[in-house]
Amino acid sequence: MMGLILAFAVILLSTCWFLWYSRKAVFDRLPPGPRPLPFLESRQELRQTRQWEALDDLHRQYGPLVGMTWGGRPAVLIGKREIAKDLFGKRGSIYSSRARLVMGLDIMTGGDHVFFLPYGPKWKKLSRIQATFLNRPAVKHYRPLQELESLHTLQDLLRSDDYEACFSRFQASLTHALAYGTRLPSATDPQLMELENIARTFISAATNSHWMVDSFPILKYVPACLAPWKRFGQQIHAQTVSLFQGKMALAEQTRSWNWVKHIRALKHTSGVTDHEMVYVIGSIYQAGVGIITATLRLFIMACVLHPEAVKAAQDELDRVVGSDRLPTLNDLGHLPYVEAFVKEVLRWRPLVLAATHSVTQDDNYRGYRIPRHAVILSNQWAMDMDREVWDSPEQFRPDRWMSDRKRMPSAFGLGQRMCAGQYMAMESLLIMTSRMLWAFTFEHAWEGGKRVEIDSWAFHEESLFLVPKPYRASIQPRDPHRLHVIQSTWQAAEKDIDPLLDQIGREIHTASA
């Protein structure tokens, strides 16, 4: 008996040594970086608060390319935008895949979530479908609906100081109207709350980088009765599919155009399953609402902390728009500083610490060997705070964007895996921020005779995502006349969106014919 145990121990130790030695051989050819102990990960160094500082420390110590391990796989952390453009742009044919997240893709989404799909035929098919209604020309047709929802949000802000709820309703209602044909008129709408709960749970769980099954994919075959984490993922999957399939069924019964009907009518989508459609549309909702809400919270923070920038934006709005009407998206060509203000919000406090890609074949770059299936992490924070690119990057300075209006922030990613909804997201941010700057003043809140301070570095950290912690601010109309303009414009606005959606559908069909 002892002989069998000893033999098993020898085999186990030999196997472990072989695996460690093999991984070490691969790791030694990566760029310099923290060397983990056997069977541990250099990623452990990032499991702390203020992860952006840990990432910056790695680049200061090792340079713009850092070799490490991530989920048991070799990984490279990129800290320079020009390197990211090289790999995701010029070499995008091999750097456009995703690191395999078994929990996020296989278990929680049944293998159909567009964001998590590896580069290949299915990703191309589903991305092509999304592009038919999220490309730049299509998004321009959504402007009347964006203006209606932003007007509704101004009205909400006049009645409530819960601006986070107002912002969440804004983007959720816009996306819901386009996707399923109906608005979400109240921040307390049960539909909105259900959507938010599922989206929040999914994003938090799917992007959690500590699932054991992601490091050891064979664990996905463990029976659910023996794996609580698997039952948890399957429950999220079932809830998501049930919710969004129900909405798809209702969308097909509405009178007006919507994304569901649009996809059904496309000639090349006859082979798309209902399950794939759940995630073609649902992934846009899951990703977009949270990011837009968090960015608008950062916008309010920037307005309170940088009144000189607010004054410059309001002076521009007063010159171009005046005080008798609200700005529209058609005004933006004449509002370069307002546009620069939004771009600077996106750069000043990046909400995505690092975007993950994967390389599909062995590659050599700058003298280093990057093995097939290595995880490639684009360090967004390092790029947006790069002192060689940005003068005084810690400062909030919209004017840095004025010399080149075509220059875009990298918040939406680079290469073929750029955010599919980037154009819609940017226009949503521009209409909402331009109207708030036109309408309101932004100041610190006061409590008990004392000013309530705002910590611009206070974030909740969810894996590689940052969410600003709640803070208080005072948002008031700039003057009674602007208050009257908001109220009278809202009163006169047409609230029935069916004709509006049908017009959008006709314009998109005509443009694509």
d(CA 82, CA 379): 12
What's the pLDDT at 10? 47
Q: What is the mean predicted confidence (pLDDT) over 331-360?
A: 94
Q: What is the mean pLDDT of residues 99-103?
A: 87
pLDDT above 90: residue 11:
no
DSSP annotation string for 248-316: HHHHTTSSS--HHHHHHH-GGGTT--HHHHHHHHHHHHHHHHHHHHHHHHHHHHHHHH-HHHHHHHHHH
- Taking the domains of the chain in order of start, what are their residue ranges? 31-512
Please report, for residues 27, 365, 447, 465, the alpha-carbon distance to residue 369 in angstroms, rounded to integers and kept in the order given: 9, 7, 58, 29
| Full-model pTM | 0.91
Q: Which of 133-137, 198-202, 287-291, 403-407 has the highest mean pLDDT?
A: 133-137
| pLDDT higher at 1 or 181 | 181
Chain centroid to Cα 235, Å, comes to 24
User: Per-residue pLDDT tens for 413-471?
Assistant: 889 999 999 999 999 999 999 999 999 999 999 998 899 999 999 998 877 788 899 99
Instruction: Report helix, strand or coil for 78.
Output: strand
Q: What is the pLDDT of residues 462-480, one digit of tens each?
A: 777 888 999 999 999 999 9
Which range among 21-30, 392-401, 421-430 shows the weakest confidence by mean pLDDT?
Answer: 21-30
Does residue 323 or residue 464 have the better pLDDT? 323
pLDDT for 268 equals 66
**pLDDT number for residue 2:** 59
Mean pLDDT score of the chain: 89
Percent of the chain beyond pLDDT 70?
Answer: 90
Pick the CATH number of 31-512 from 1.10.630.10, 3.40.50.2020, 3.30.70.330, 3.20.20.210: 1.10.630.10
Q: What mean pLDDT is predicted for residues 32-48?
A: 59
Check the annotation: does 303 bind a ligand: no
* Measured CA distances, 185 to 168, 246, 252 (Å): 11, 19, 20
218 vs 212: CA distance, rounded Å? 10
